[in-house]
Structure 1
């Protein structure tokens, strides 16, 4: 599961990667695709790699309250 700051960081990095892919082109097209994946995973608040690794960035104390 994904916490708030994890999602914010994904959005910021995703936007930067998408911008670079659009403006620079070339090898940055790969970064553009990664940027879209980062944005998508932050929007749905789920990361398949986190699930596979058993990682959660959510605040467990916040969920209990």
Structure 2
């Protein structure tokens, strides 16, 4: 699994993931389950790999 998520992208994913995940705990009704999408963003941030980026051949990870 080749890394394709860069550091700025990773920070944005973590922040957005935490915001979405908080929706699950603070909202009522069926819309609160949209907040579970935050888990996907957090997971892709921590493993530095996004399968959707692979499909579209996007790479924000710089080669150091």
Same fold (TM over 0.5): yes
Is the CA contact (8 Å cut-off) linking 1:16 and 1:35 kept in structure 2? yes
Which structure's residues are more often helix, by fraction? 1
Give per-residue Cα distances to partners, 1:1-59, cap 9 Å, x unaligned.
010010100000000001111111320212x2210000001011000000111000122
Q: Which runs of 5+ in 2 are unaligned?
A: none
1:20 corresponds to which of 18, 23, 26: 23
**Structural RMSD (CA):** 1.1
TM-score of the two chains, using structure 2 as the length reference: 0.85
TM-score of the two chains, using structure 1 as the length reference: 0.84
Q: Which runs of 5+ in 1 are unaligned?
A: none
